[in-house]
A and B are shown apart, each in its own frame.
Chain A
């Protein structure tokens, strides 16, 4: 099922508002809504689900205008951040709930068969008679997914699906969710504030800030071509140096960088900590090492440029230089943006 959002607006007194979001999600696509807290991503998801009504704009499911269809009839599977499993029902009863209340009548035998099938799908075959309180967080999340899938939703919506889990479980579940999605081919939209999760899992990433889409594209596109300084910063560690832009060049301490198409005036260059080479001879911006931090697979160096701007970069564990030494930082793949 294809989903289309047309200039969707949600007014809130508080910060979660959404200011005119348009988005196309192709049938069978797995799309991540990525943004910091308060960027409106969960509000968008809840509007797609029908748990909130849009104050403006329209939401289409295929050709059908779903904007005013209540959640009960919208046919979405919604997975809540804290699972929202019914604590007084067993895992099996939780999964069966949607089928029992459905307008499509099923015999108890059909329901039981479907529950078993879904439990196998989420690899929880033996846990049918347990209560949610008796299983782990990762297992609860999988039950929540099975419950959402039980009603044969047209769209699967997940709100921070792995937010409450610890790092290892998160990574496993992520890969597993991708596998399930590829098997079922159901259009899936999920919300996360974790860029790694979004890049790892999604076909396409939609990056939001302050209730607006700032960039959307494949993980490759957003990583290689961040639209602005916010996206660059949000997707990962980034260094930022103030620059002067004159005639298509950005100058930092008299070192020039390519800045095609950036307006003259004050600007900034951003670059990843991995895109720096430390040199002892004169190529690059002069700097002095302030501190060296050891990590399992690398050394992180904190340095200060001649004009007093802080830079962090990663080097091989064998990096021989120490605190106080002077040298030059050579920047690869700098990105130049005009100051906001």
Chain B
């Protein structure tokens, strides 16, 4: 197409030199900042051979860190999923005073540094904190134990599911729920038969994002967990410890597990986006969306 108008100035945004420079800069940055570190993880993890990699992973402390991370995710993700669905449902399908404030408050964890969240948990549940004495008296351990880790993780990842759902549910409006109710469906029935099927891909996407963030969370957890090796160390904290022990190969082996998780998340994200998750659609378009309805039956 550039052959046609040799004499004419290029179409807006189609300057050849500019386009090439722009592409080069972007590719270079991607290679340096994203691809290179991932490659390094893979290479370093196996730098002392596959046997050492397996040994690193099988190390009791590493295994415990993996287990703790998985347990944290198993508690925090379902909880945040339920919270996200409830919050999105409340905000998009109901009217109440303070609704816009709630929308903003839900997003606070995104704008607060995780380390700040961690420190504030110290002040609430720590010995010198608000509930410190009461908790100690009742012999409930929150800080430097699993509950603290879970709480901090939940705080940091609280908005993920709600943020995926709110724009979608807002665009879908209330017509479908009203229709279901006028046909005699109960609230639960309406939710499971009508609302959920129409948000399932966005919900799944939110859950995947939330999960990868819970498993990777470092800042807040590092403050509240106490970082005790083999006891309150999650995988990201464990990686840091290994690294400080000059056990680079061990650190990278553990890191490769988190990196794999990231790749799985990415693949899931792309797959889910293809199915329409996170894409805002109007109700009329929804009715026609082949991304939501299964394939055409002749």
> Interface residues, chain A, CB within 8 Å of chain B?
49-51, 71-74, 76-78, 80, 82-88, 97-98, 101-103, 129-134, 140, 147-148, 150-151, 164
Contacts and interface: CB of A to CB of B under 8 A. Distances in A.
Contact of B287 (A50, A77, A133, A150): A133
Contacts of B183: 97-98, 101, 147-148, 150-151
B273 to A, nearest CB: 18
B286 A87 contact: yes
B182 A132 contact: no
B287 A85 contact: yes
Contacts of B178: 51, 71, 78, 80, 84
14 contacts: A72-B185, A74-B182, A76-B182, A78-B179, A80-B179, A82-B284, A87-B287, A87-B288, A87-B289, A87-B292, A88-B198, A98-B183, A101-B184, A131-B293
Given A86-B180, A87-B198, A97-B193, 17 more contacts: A49-B182, A51-B182, A71-B181, A77-B182, A82-B284, A87-B286, A87-B287, A88-B197, A88-B292, A97-B180, A97-B185, A98-B185, A101-B183, A129-B297, A131-B293, A132-B293, A133-B290
A74 B294 CA distance: 34
Contacts of B283: 82, 84
B189 interface: yes
Interface of B: 175-176, 178-186, 189, 193-194, 197-198, 283-284, 286-290, 292-294, 296-297
Contacts of B181: 71-72
Contact of A88 (B182, B288, B293, B296): B293
B296 A98 contact: no
Contacts of A87: 198, 286-289, 292-293
A130 B297 contact: yes
Contacts of B175: 80, 82, 84
A77 B178 CA distance: 11
Nearest to B285: A133
Most chain A beta-carbon neighbours within 10 Å: one of B175, B184, B186, B284: B184
Given A80-B175, A80-B179, A84-B179, A133 B186 contact: no
Contacts of A77: 182
B237 to A, nearest CB: 43
A101 B181 CA distance: 10
Nearest to A102: B184
B204 to A, nearest CB: 15
B188 to A, nearest CB: 10
Contacts of B287: 83, 85, 87, 132-133, 140
B287 to A, nearest CB: 4
Contacts of A72: 181-182, 184-186
B185 A101 contact: yes
Which A-B residue pairs are the 5 nearest by beta carbons? A98-B183, A133-B288, A84-B175, A84-B179, A101-B185
A84 B293 contact: no
A83 B176 CA distance: 9
A225 B104 CA distance: 55
A140 B175 CA distance: 15
A265 B137 CA distance: 87
A199 to B, nearest CB: 28
Contacts of B176: 84, 86
